[in-house]
């Protein structure tokens, strides 16, 4: 091989080596950019809404894209801290006691038992007719030194019949609960006077009588957008029917940019439907695997999916059981199995 040939081979080899190095650098840079984009998609300000504004329910999904929501919502609340950071900076416990169908006496007893067990969120409504009982249960717990008022988070709701005079409804709830402020007030369901009710809630929010405000039974993008169009204070919570057979994943994804948290009512399907929820094959299998009850698996699924959850009960043993969900964690695969139980079936249409 003469000198000239050697020089040519050396040049070609150098060019090939440089080309390989450049290719590797390009591949690595591209991959990094892709990863960055992926993680920043959890940031609400980077949300690219595929909002086509149809008035279809957004609650439905088959669970396929659920990981995005889960990671984002878990950044809003750490399950270990048992609290969520609402979009107004106020803290809300992520597991509460529901009181629908409880009489005043049952509500007082259940609230007291729940607080003793560790619950710090109580859900009631003007419509349930048990705000007085809830207030008494809270008062008893404060009087006995179990909690201070600021340790307990009370939610109530303005019922549709009261929408023509929402100020009065709020005053009434404050009086019946016997408290100076309510931690969260919700419009119970959409109605023709929504805007008027919302304005009233904002007025009481600004006066410090309501610490946060939100809506309930709003399932479509249009319904939510309508509220957002007039809201000066963005709703902190949307409380909706949400259970393994009807999962609010798409709505959750849609309201993410406002840091609105979905709160689940009927987490067990509600009275009369609990058996089919508890006996679902996936739930039963996981209860066996984690050595927990079906109720505990379902509650844990709600929490890990980024939902605040308020199982209802008037049974002290159930109340204890329902709070005992902070000592285990469902794996991602098991979460996915539950996401796939969804069949978009609601029990109620109010
Ligand atoms: N915004 C709205 O329109 C709306 C509508 C409905 C409900 N909510 C709220 O959401 C809350 C939850 O819904 P929900 O109470 O109707 O239904 P749920 O929580 O899905 O189910 C309640 C049923 O589950 C049973 N249960 C509770 N814990 C159990 C356990 N560990 N093992 C076996 N059974 C258990 C209860 O019976 P026991 O009493 O015997 O424990 C009751 O029959 C309500 O209480 C209410 O505060 C809001």
Q: Please tell me the predicted confidence (pLDDT) of residue 310.
A: 99
Same domain, 26 and 143: no
Tell me how far apart the alpha carbons of residues 219 and 228 are, in angstroms, rounded to a whole number.
Answer: 14
Is residue 62 in some structural domain? no
Instruction: Give yes or no for residue 212 CB within 6 A of ligand 1.
Output: no
- pLDDT reported for residue 234: 98
Is 229 within 8 Å of 327 (Cβ atoms)? no
Q: Are residues 4 and 132 in the same domain?
A: no
pLDDT of residue 65: 65
Residue 55: the pLDDT is 63
In a domain, 43, yes or no: no
Q: Does ligand 1 lie within 6 Å of residue 156's CB atom?
A: no
Examine the domain organization and report whether 239 and 288 are in the same domain: yes
What is the distance in A from the centroid of ligand 1 to the CA of 311? 5
pLDDT at site 48: 28
Residues 190 and 118 in one domain: yes
Is residue 50 domain-resident?
A: no
Q: Is the CB of 240 under 6 A from ligand 1?
A: no
Same domain, 11 and 102: no
Q: Which of 93, 276, 312 to mutate to test the pocket of ligand 1 (most atoms within 8 A of CB)?
A: 312
Tell me what pLDDT residue 63 has. Answer: 53
Q: What is the pLDDT of residue 1?
A: 64
Same domain, 335 and 275: yes
The domain tally of the chain equals: 2
Shared domain for 23 and 82, answered yes or no, is no
User: Could you list the residue range(s) of the whole structural domain that residue 231 is in?
Assistant: 69-339
Does 88 map to a domain? yes
Cα–Cα distance measured from residue 220 to residue 59, given in angstroms and rounded to the nearest whole number: 8
By most ligand atoms within 8 Å of CB, the mutation choice from 97, 98, 191, 308 for ligand 1 is 98
CATH number for the domain that contains residue 182: 3.20.20.100
**pLDDT of the residue at 69:** 80
Residue 33 has a pLDDT of 42
**Residue 252: inside a domain:** yes
Q: Do residues 248 and 308 both lie within one domain?
A: yes
pLDDT of res. 35: 36
Nearest to 235 by CA among 255, 254, 264: 255
Assess whether 9 and 135 both reside in one domain: no
In this structure, is residue 104 part of a structural domain? yes
CA distance 177 to 112: 14
Which segments in the chain show pLDDT lower than 50? 31-54
The whole-number pLDDT of residue 152 equals 98
The reply to whether 57 falls in a domain is no
- Same domain assignment for residues 28 and 137: no
- The 3-state DSSP composition of the chain as helix, strand, coil percent (nearest 5) reads 50, 15, 35
- Distance of alpha carbon 69 from alpha carbon 78, whole angstroms: 14
Q: What is the model's pLDDT at position 51?
A: 32
Instruction: Classify residue 201: in a domain, yes or no.
Output: yes
82 shares its domain with 193: yes
Residues 101 and 27 in one domain: no
């Amino acid at each position: 091989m003469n000198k000239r040939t050697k020089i040519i081979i050396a040049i070609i080899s150098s060019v090939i080596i440089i080309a390989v190095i450049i290719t590797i650098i390009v591949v690595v840079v591209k991959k990094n950019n892709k990863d960055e984009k992926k993680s920043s998609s959890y940031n609400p300000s980077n949300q690219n809404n595929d909002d086509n504004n149809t008035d279809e329910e957004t609650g439905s999904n088959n669970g396929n894209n659920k990981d995005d929501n889960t990671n984002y919502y878990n950044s809003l609340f750490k399950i270990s801290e048992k609290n969520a950071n609402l979009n107004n900076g106020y803290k809300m416990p992520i597991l509460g006691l529901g009181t629908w169908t409880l009489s005043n006496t049952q509500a007082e007893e259940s609230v007291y038992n729940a607080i003793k067990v560790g619950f710090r969120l109580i859900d009631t409504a003007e419509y349930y007719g048990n705000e007085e009982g809830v207030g008494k249960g809270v008062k008893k717990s404060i009087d006995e030194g179990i909690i201070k008022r600021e340790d307990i988070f009370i939610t109530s709701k303005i019922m549709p019949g009261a929408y023509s005079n929402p100020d009065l409804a709020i005053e009434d709830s404050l009086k019946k609960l016997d408290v100076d402020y309510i931690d969260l007030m919700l419009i119970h369901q959409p109605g023709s006077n929504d805007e008027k009710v919302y304005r009233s809630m904002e007025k009481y929010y600004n006066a410090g009588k309501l610490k946060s405000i939100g809506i309930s039974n709003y399932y479509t993008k249009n319904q939510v957008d309508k509220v957002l169009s007039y809201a000066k204070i963005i709703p902190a919570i949307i409380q909706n029917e949400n259970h393994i057979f009807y999962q609010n994943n798409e709505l959750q994804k849609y309201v993410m940019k406002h840091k609105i948290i979905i709160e689940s009512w009927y987490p067990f399907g509600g009275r009369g439907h609990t058996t089919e929820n508890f006996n679902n094959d996936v739930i039963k299998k996981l209860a066996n695997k984690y050595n927990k009850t079906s109720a505990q698996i379902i509650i844990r699924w709600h929490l890990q999916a980024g939902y605040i959850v308020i199982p209802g009960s008037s049974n002290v043993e159930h109340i204890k059981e329902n709070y005992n969900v902070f000592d285990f964690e469902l794996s991602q695969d098991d979460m996915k199995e539950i996401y796939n139980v969804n069949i978009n079936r609601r029990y109620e249409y109010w």
